[in-house]
Amino acid sequence: MESRRYGFLLLVLHTMRAVIALEEIIVGKPGDNATLSCIYQEREVLLKNLRVYWQIADDQEECSVVHALISGRDNESEQCIHFKNRTQLFWDRLENGDFSLLLLNISKSDEHTYKCVVLQKTEYTKVIHQAKVVLSLAASYSQPILSGPIRNSDSTGEEVTFSCKSGNGYPKPNVYWINKTDNSHLSPSELKITLHTDGTYSVFSTLKVKATSNMEIECSIENKILHANLSANYTQQTQSSGSNTESHKNLEKKGQGAQAAGIISIVILIGLLVGLTCWLWRRRSSKLISYTDVQPNEDKGLNLPV
């Protein structure tokens, strides 16, 4: 009697293990393909004795069939229109118990919990395997580009504008503006989120604040699905009026020094030119004197006695 009870208990546990749906969570990017896993590893199977159904588990709509395999052949008679020509089984893996489904060109409307049910028909039809796959869509946003004002000390107290942009992400992001000097959150002046044809989003936001002498602003893009935050920072320290005055004085001194050096160079150049001119003039004068001395002597040599 006890052995019968023990055998019955084992049968119940085996049956429960067979029909418990294992849940897997996968994340795909809009426009990509996703593989929904369903693997029965007990033993080799005969496809002619099996029925495999992929269906939407979290939807109560009239149509829930994603893909059906009956006696080793695809059956499209009950397949939802939304999934027509977008689902494929891996035929080289079926006899090894791999009933995973390839879902093509996924989009927001494909975000569901999917259920794989494998039934075996011998003397009677029974469920031998189940699996659940939760499909979520996500895509990383690009590194934010933060643009800030070109400032000087005179703009302190004036209103300045920052802009931040990022793209190619999914789902819609959370955008945060942060004053890093005290880690306070700032309200954006503008927030524009654009949906593109490939299913991804781009974001553009602006912030208007009064300028301070030392500004540290951060723009952060959050993707909740991926638990990711991407940030860009703006830091600019402006000089005080005293520093500006000292810098201006230094520039004036440098300018005066350069001007004096230029004048000295010109004076030296003029001196060299005058010296060269005098040397050339003296050389020419000495040649003329020598010529006048030689000419009378030559004339004397030509006087013959009478």
Would the CATH topology of 18-137 be identical to that of 145-241?
yes
* pLDDT for residue 44: 73
- Using alpha carbons only, what angle is made at residue 21 by residues 41 and 79, rounded to the nearest 5 degrees? 95
Helix (H, G, I), strand (E, B) or coil at 71: coil
* pLDDT for residue 18: 45
Assigned CATH topology for domain 145-241 = Immunoglobulin-like (2.60.40)
Residue type (1 letter), 58? D
Residue-wise pLDDT for 264-290, tens only, equals: 878 788 878 777 787 777 777 665 555
User: For domain 18-137, is the CATH number 2.60.40.10?
Assistant: yes
- Which pTM value belongs to this model? 0.63
* pLDDT for residue 160: 92
Alpha-carbon Rg for the chain, nearest whole angstrom, is 45
* pLDDT for residue 283: 72
**Which DSSP letter does residue 155 get?**
G
Distances (CA, A) of 219 to 57, 270, 273: 39, 63, 66
- E strand or H helix at 163: strand 159-169
Residue type (1 letter), 158? E
Domain ranges of the chain: 18-137, 145-241
Measuring CA to CA, which residue among 166, 169, 146 is closest to residue 224?
Answer: 169
CB 126 within 8 A of CB 51: no
Residue-wise pLDDT for 237-256, tens only, equals: 544 444 444 444 554 556 56
Average pLDDT, the chain: 81
Count of alpha carbons within 13 angstroms of residue 184, beta-carbon side: 5
Measuring CA to CA, which residue among 237, 246, 250, 209 is closest to residue 153?
Answer: 237
Quick one: how far is CA 219 from the chain centroid? 14
Work out the number of other CB atoms within 10 angstroms of the CB of residue 243: 11
* pLDDT for residue 239: 45
Average pLDDT, stretch 72-77?
92
Reading phi first (left if > 0) and then psi (alpha if -120 to 50, else beta), residue 3 is in alpha
Count of alpha carbons within 13 angstroms of residue 54, beta-carbon side: 30
pLDDT at 9 over 50: no
Residue-wise pLDDT for 203-245, tens only, equals: 999 999 998 888 899 999 999 999 999 999 998 754 444 444 4
* pLDDT for residue 89: 97
Average pLDDT, stretch 292-297?
50
d(CA 111, CA 117): 19
* pLDDT for residue 70: 94
Average pLDDT, stretch 69-95?
93
CB 223 within 8 A of CB 215: no
Residue-wise pLDDT for 31-68, tens only, equals: 999 999 999 987 777 889 999 999 999 866 678 899 99
pLDDT at 4 over 70: no
